[in-house]
Structure 1
C-alpha cells in the first residue's frame, strides 16, 4: 500500500462475496484475514490498524483497533505519522499471532515494518493483549532503493521464515528472518522478487514510475505463487490497480509468469483488474479456509464513483495450475 489517500480510509465499504452479497458497511483497505476457531478476523489499513470479525464472511463486526496509542518508535521513522498504520499481515506461529504492519511518511521511503504479537485474537479473552516488538526492517531516503512497507511472512520448505515487502523504487524484496520472526537473520540474505522498469533520470528519493507493490506469497500445488499489485490505487475513478502473478519452485524465485518471463524483469500475468464494475482492484491476500482457496482484495466501484469495496472470491486452479477466480 503506497500513497494511500487517507480520505479513502473514511469511505464506507460493503463486503462482497463473489460478485454480489449482502454485508455490513465497514472501512477497509489492504485486507488480510485469519481464522481462529469459528471466527474470521480481518485486519486492514486504518487508525491503529482496523479489525473486524465474522462468523460467515458476510456480516462483519468491528473489533478494538490493535494500537490505541501509536507505537512508541513511530515518530522517529515518520515525522508526520498520526497512527494511521498501513497494510498489516497476520499469521500464527510459535503458539502466538504475529501482526506485521507498516509505518511510513507519505510519498517517501521513510518507512519501517514493525511486528506485534498476541496469544489470541478474541478481545473477550482475558489473555488478549497486543505487545509491540518494534522495528523489523527500516528504509531511508537516499540510502535505500526500496521501501519498507506492505509486509508478508512466508516459510519455505525448510521452515525458514522470509519477509516479502516493498513498493515502487527498485522493486519488491525478500529477506531472511531469524526464527524469532522479529529480526533479520545474519549474514543477511536479500532477494529482488519483482521489479518494473524505472526511469533512470529520477532522483533516488523519488518513488518512480515502476508502479508495483504489496507482494503476497501463497504456497499451493508445489509452487510458491507471488501475487502483487501493479499501477495506481486510491484514486477513485482514476484508480488503475490490478493484481498480477508469477510462480516459483523456490521461495526466493525466480518467479515466472505464464509466458515464462521473470517478475524481476517486468513480468506478470493478470489475475484480476478493473472491469465494468470497478475502476481498479488490488492489494490482495490469499488463503485456504476449510478446504477452499480464497483471494481477498479491495476495488474502486464505478457505480459509486470510486468507493472502495472489499471483495472475497473463491479460487480454483486450471489444468496448468494457475488460479482462476470463481
Structure 2
C-alpha cells in the first residue's frame, strides 16, 4: 500500500513538472478571430487612404483580400489581370511570391518575388498604383536579381525608409537575410548596390527568410521567419526578432547575441491548432502596430490562414504579440 501511495506521489510530482497544453499555449497568443476569406499565405496588409484594408499574398497573380474592419475579409481576385511576360524567366507558371506593400510619394508600391522552389535564380519586381486596389497596378519590371553563383536569394522583399534613404531587405536560406539600397525615384536597386548581411543561421541550410523591418523609437527591428514553411501541419515556422540603431545592422536580440550568429528573440511560435506562424509583416492603423502572418490550421487539414495580432512594446523597447 505504501509502495502504491509513493508511486502515486512520484507520478503526481512528475506531472506537475510537465507543462500542460494550456500552459504551453498561453505562451503565445491566438490570432484575433476573423470571418470570410481566411485562406492566405505571406500576407502584407495596409489601411488604404480611401478607407478599408487590403491584403496581398502569395497565390494567384498576387492574391488580394479586402476588409472594412480587419475582421471580415472578402476575396478580391488578384493584383494583376495577367502576369508580366518577364516573370516566365524565373518561373514557368509565372507564380509570384511574398509581396510587400508600401506607400510613398503619392503612390502605393507593391514589391514581390518570382522564383522556383529550391533555386536562387530569382528576381524581385515592383509595381505601382494610385489607389492600391487590385486590378490597378502597373508593373515596372525587375528591382534586383540573384543567380546560382550568388550567395543570397533575391526573394521575400521588404521596404523600409531610414535617414532619407530607401532600403530593401530580402532573403531566403542560402546565407540568410540581406539588404540593398534603392533609388527612391525608380524604386529599383541603385547601381552597384552593396549587399549588406543582416541575419543568418550557424549551419546549412541557413533556414531563415521573409524579413520585415519596422522602426520603433530609436531602433530598427528585424522580424524574420525561421525553420520550415509550406508543409501544412508539419511546418515548423516561427517568428524571431532583433534590433539595431542602424538599418543596416548589426541586429542583436535582447541578450546581445547578433542575428548574424543565430540570435533572435522568439516572438511567435506554433501552439494549439495554430501551426507554423510566419511570412510576417507589420502595419500600423489607428495608432496601433499589428503583426500579420499566416499559420497552418491543424483543425482544417493544415490550410494556410490569416493571423492578425496587435503588437505591444515593452518599456525596454521589445515587441510582444497580444
* Counterpart Cα distance in 1 of 2:274 and 2:232: 10
Deviations 1:178-210 (A, max 9, x none): 1224322234222101111234xxxxxxxxx21
- Point out 4+ residue stretches in structure 1 off by more than 6 angstroms: none
Q: Alignment partner of 1:73: what SS?
A: helix
Give unpaired runs (5+ residues) of structure 2: 1-28
Corresponding residue for residue 267 of structure 1: 263
Of 90, 96, 113, 2:124 maps to: 113
User: Take 2:319 and 2:186, find their aligned partners in 1: how far apart are those partners?
Assistant: 29
Query: Is contact 1:154-1:161 (8 Å) kept?
Result: yes
1:240-282 CA-to-partner distances (Å, cap 9, x unmatched) read 0000000001100000101101111111110000112323111
Q: Give how far 1:20 is off.
A: 4.9
Runs of 5+ unmatched residues, structure 1: 1-16, 200-208
Match runs of 1:54-133 below 5 Å: 54-78=67-91, 80=92, 82-122=93-133, 129-133=136-140
1:60 Cα deviation (Å)? Answer: 1.1
Q: Which residue of 2 aligns with 1:145?
A: 151
2:40 to 25, 28, 34: 28
Q: Alignment partner for residue 235 of structure 1, among 231, 234, 241?
A: 231
Q: TM-score, normalised by structure 2?
A: 0.87
Q: What is the alpha-carbon distance in structure 1 between the residues aligned to residue 286 and residue 124 of structure 2?
A: 30
Residues 282-324 of structure 1, C-alpha deviations (whole Å, 9 max, x = no match): 1111121110111111111222232222110111111221111
Contact 2:37/2:74 (CA < 8 Å) preserved in 1? no
Cα deviation, residue 134, structure 1? 0.3
Paired position in structure 2 for 1:171: 176
1:277-296 counterparts in 2 under 5 A? 277-296=273-292
Any idea what SS the aligned residue of 1:321 has? Answer: coil
Q: Secondary structure of the residue that 1:46 maps to in structure 2?
A: coil
8 Å contact kept, 2:241–2:265 = yes
In terms of fraction of residues, the more helix-rich structure is 2
